Amino acid sequence: MKYRKHIAVILLAVGSLLLATGCRDSRTIPTANGRPQITIMVGGLEKVIYLPAMLTERLGFFQANDLDVHLLGEQSGANAETALLTGDVQAVVGFYDHTIDLQAKDQCLKTVVQFADVPGEVELVSQQDAAAVKSPADFKGRNLGVTSLGSSTDFLTQALAGQAGLGTSDYTRVKVGAGQTFIAGMNHNGIDAGMTTDPTVAKMVSSGDAEVLVDMRNEQGTRAALGGLYPAASLYMRCETVQAHPDIVQKLANAFVETLRWIRSHSPEEIAAKMPAQYAGGDPKLYVKSITDSISMFNGDGLMKREGAENVLRILGRYSRNVAPVRDRIDLDATYTNEFVGKAQGARRP
């Protein structure tokens, strides 16, 4: 009897562990009242580059597609991808380049909606260093701010410096996060220059605390800095989730494509009016300016352009220590799909 009781306890413990693991498996999407319950982690909800996430919620497009979506904010894209891999969330709104970086680590992530063909990032230089730092060639010996090590801003910083002939030993990458922590880092001499997005860019430039050194909020600036397009903000999921729940993925694609089309047909003022008031940080006019300066980054159709994906691989294959050793075996076709966006376009009004 004692032996049977012992076995029963073990089986109960194993069953409990499997149940707990299942609850954290991003392939398993719970439902309530007939609607899928989706948690999406966003690499900075208030960042203009990820504006389509909150805007889709505010416009009611998730609900219109019979989805219950919960948005979570996380300032680091690297941390967001970790939450996806551990099953804490079902999807991430973040940079496409993480799908390539993770494939190099034998993990499969797939972008299903591509919001932008350019990073939307800006390399700022502090006002006190602006006279000495005129281009990435002047990064030598400098402290450069990135969101976190291993983040997309880290990849891009290395690319800018690398194309100027510098290696990572020539400068120091400093984790400063985004928003107020980035501003504090620059204003208190923690960094000389750093990569960030709007509305932080608009705040620092308007206050006179920083100047724009490299602008990747548009196609012209991105091609000049990176030698081509660099698709960035996107919705990506685990490949297993995409395969297991194509119907739910399609609904997400429908919602986001509708939002991208809405952005194309509305003014920055109209877009700002739909966003949470706190995103303006007490300065609505400055928030409208930040949207105006970045709005051209959104592609309007949700499609990944092959040229852009190939350029991301080229850059990571040279500057990412994860991708460089295995560059030749990266399968780009496994990192994104236009299937769902294509269907969403066909289902929407012309």
Domains of the chain, first to last: 30-118+231-347 (3.40.190.10), 121-216 (3.40.190.10)
Cα(153)–Cα(159) distance, rounded to whole angstroms?
Answer: 10
Number of H helices, E strands in the chain: 15, 11
Cβ count within 10 A of residue 338: 19
The rounded radius of gyration (Å) of the Cα atoms in the chain is: 21
Closest CA to 62 of 222, 236, 217, 252: 252
Instruction: Provide the pLDDT for residue 15.
Output: 40
**Contact residues for 277 (Cβ-Cβ < 8 A; gap 6+):** none
- Give the angle 346-39-105 at the CA atoms, nearest 5°: 90
- Position 12 scores a pLDDT of 44
Q: What's the pLDDT score for residue 95?
A: 95
Contact 193, 213 (CB under 8 A): yes
Of 317, 310, 311, nearest to 333 by C-alpha is 310
Q: What is the per-residue pLDDT for 336?
A: 98
pLDDT recorded at residue 347: 62
pLDDT in tens, the chain (350 residues): 444 444 444 444 434 433 444 445 556 788 888 899 999 999 889 999 999 999 999 999 999 999 999 999 986 666 777 889 888 999 999 999 999 999 999 999 999 999 999 999 999 999 999 999 999 999 999 999 999 888 889 989 999 999 999 999 999 999 999 899 999 999 999 999 999 999 999 999 999 999 999 999 999 999 999 999 999 999 999 999 999 999 999 999 999 999 999 999 999 999 999 999 999 989 999 999 999 999 999 999 999 999 999 999 999 999 888 999 999 999 999 999 999 999 999 865 43
CA angle 36, 38, 41 (to 5 degrees): 175
With contact defined as beta carbons under 8 Å apart, do 145 and 122 qualify?
no
The C-alpha angle 108, 237, 94, rounded to 5 degrees, equals: 105
